[in-house]
Amino acid sequence: MSTTEAASTIPAKAAAQTNSLVAKLWNYCNVLRDNGLSTIEYVEQLSYLLFLKMADELTSDPFAREATPSIVEAAYDWQSLASKRGVELEIHYRKVLTELGKHPGTTLGTVFAKAQNRITEPALLEKLVVDLIGKTDWVMEGTDLKGDAYEGLLAKGAEDTKTGAGQYFTPRPLIDAMVQVMRPGPNDRITDPACGTAGFLIAAHSYIREHHLKDLSREQRLALGQGSIWGNELVPGTARLAAMNMLLHGIGEADGQSLITTGDALAEVPSRRASLVLANPPFGKKSAITVVGTDGKTDREDMSYDRSDFRATTTNKQLNFLQHIMSLMEMDGRAAVVLPDNVLFEGGAGEKVRRRLLQEFDLHTILRLPTGIFYAGGVKANVLFFDKKPPRSGDVPNTSEVWVYDFRTGMHFTLKKNPLRLADLAGFIQAYKPDDRSARTETGDGRFKRFTYDELIARDKVNLDVVWLKDPALDEAGDLLAPEVIAQEIVEDLQAALAEFEAIAEALGGEVKPDTAAEEAIAQT
């Protein structure tokens, strides 16, 4: 559901409240941007204060049947901040951030891990505490309104290319389309091992509430918000945004165990399995690692991963995340994962991983994505949909056919003038046939095509980067694309090429230094 479609389904009063709150939050963001804060830094500071205010509201709820113990000790709670002004407030705020980060494993600890005050002007901090956060009841007015406003700010932060925050933010229309075809249910155990700001987890939770809430038992409702949905994020600052985003959407407990763990998901074999994995692992350069696989090989960089469950040894981050997700899935589990093009065609370890994917899993669908939809530039990606199946007798592969939907050829999107909408993916959702995949047929526009296992396994290096449609832009008789679209595609191609060359240089042992001048030149093209 797009933002416009969503707005039309909620009461006008609620929509007006949401718009008013978003406007208020954004106005304060503009003030702090003038003081040197990026949008994402503003959202981070907002998260600290929101958590403290929400904890205070829960403690002082006049409708509670019994007193709720304070989540935060009195010396560092919301009231301790609200009672101070000016320089005294700023000094105390710094102390609060330091002390509250000392609670590992809890939501409190996740939100305040390595927290720092970025608001250098005491007067601005006072306005944020007194005028913005302090005058709104963040718990009592419901979660959807606050969650939507917070999501809007995260999206704004992702647009700030200088901070690099876009790499943690997957376009919401793509998330919604993936969730709609995967159809999470109340008995699913859902995870995202590279959750960013928790977009997939929140969308899955929302889908279950919308389609199953009235049929859930009390135990299922409790599990839905307190443990059957969880994620992991490498970067502590992003993990805090994810934890706060989930709280504002009614997932998890402020004083409970954190549903977002922080650390390197690839560092160890998963101890917990999921029935549904939704993920967009980080793209870009390889991590500095040493991988030791079951094939007895070692691919060395600076850190060490001892992953006996990895069949192919590689320092390619995306291939390792794919192998990690394979291990995360329980038997008959499902996965929908965004992965770059190189995972589909890279030789060596890439071929080995693809052979395993076709043999041991049912890779039933590939969605080829267009450029121009991600906040991180230079991304050419696909969504792989696959199920984990038990071995079949006679070494028969679990994949019998792969349906590929080409949503790339002839499709042109930009983040601002022509952003991706959920309606753009309606054709894919319909062709996917989530109710009965056996009823699939090739579409009249030629975008949805079936390939057999024998056809794919016979391709050079089991290359799954299949192209069959002709781009209208290459047809002299066709309409010429707008100059800005052509320019954007050139930028995307250059960025993708730079990323590939950097990866090659790293693989050869070279030191890659960022060429900021080149990057800025490309960005201004």
Strand order in the sheet with 304-306: 298-299, 290-292, 304-306
* pLDDT at residue 523 in the model: 46
Cβ atoms of residues 239 and 113 within 8 Å: yes
Question: Of all residues in the chain, what percent are helix, strand and coil, respectively (each to 5)?
Answer: 50, 15, 40
Phi-psi label, residue 227: left if phi above 0, alpha if psi -120 to 50, beta otherwise: left
Q: What is the predicted pLDDT for the residue at 481?
A: 58
Output phi, psi for 436, to 5 deg.
Answer: -160, 95
Assign 375 to helix, strand or coil. Answer: coil
pLDDT given at position 339: 95
Tell how strand 290-292 and strand 298-299 pair up: antiparallel
Residues 228-265 have pLDDT tens digits of 899 999 988 889 889 888 888 888 887 778 899 999 99
- What per-residue confidence (pLDDT) applies to 373? 87
pLDDT given at position 34 = 72
Residue of 261, 228, 260, 243 whose CA lies nearest to 54: 243
Strand locations in 294-453, DSSP E? 298-299, 304-306, 329-340, 361-368, 381-388, 401-406, 448-452
Q: In sequence order, what DSSP letters do the residues of 429-472 get, joined into one string?
A: HHHH-TT-GGG----TTS-EEEEEHHHHHTSGGG------SPPG
Q: What is the pLDDT of residues 97-153, one digit of tens each?
A: 999 988 888 888 898 988 999 888 898 899 888 888 887 777 655 555 677 778 777
Stretches where the chain sits below pLDDT 70 are 1-21, 61-69, 139-145, 160-168, 222-227, 284-304, 376-378, 472-486, 488-525
pLDDT of 5: 36
Residue 26's alpha-carbon distances to 32, 34, 109, 165, in angstroms, are 10, 13, 27, 17
Residues 6 or more apart in contact with residue 205 via CB below 8 angstroms: 190, 224, 225, 229, 249, 250, 251
Q: What is the pLDDT of residue 147?
A: 75
For residue 449, list its beta bridge partners: 404
Q: What is the pLDDT of residue 62?
A: 56
Nearest CA to 223 out of 189, 199, 272 is that of 189
Contact, 254 vs 282, CB < 8 A? no
CA distance 225 to 205: 8
> Which structural domains are found in the chain, ordered by start?
3-151 (1.20.1260.30)
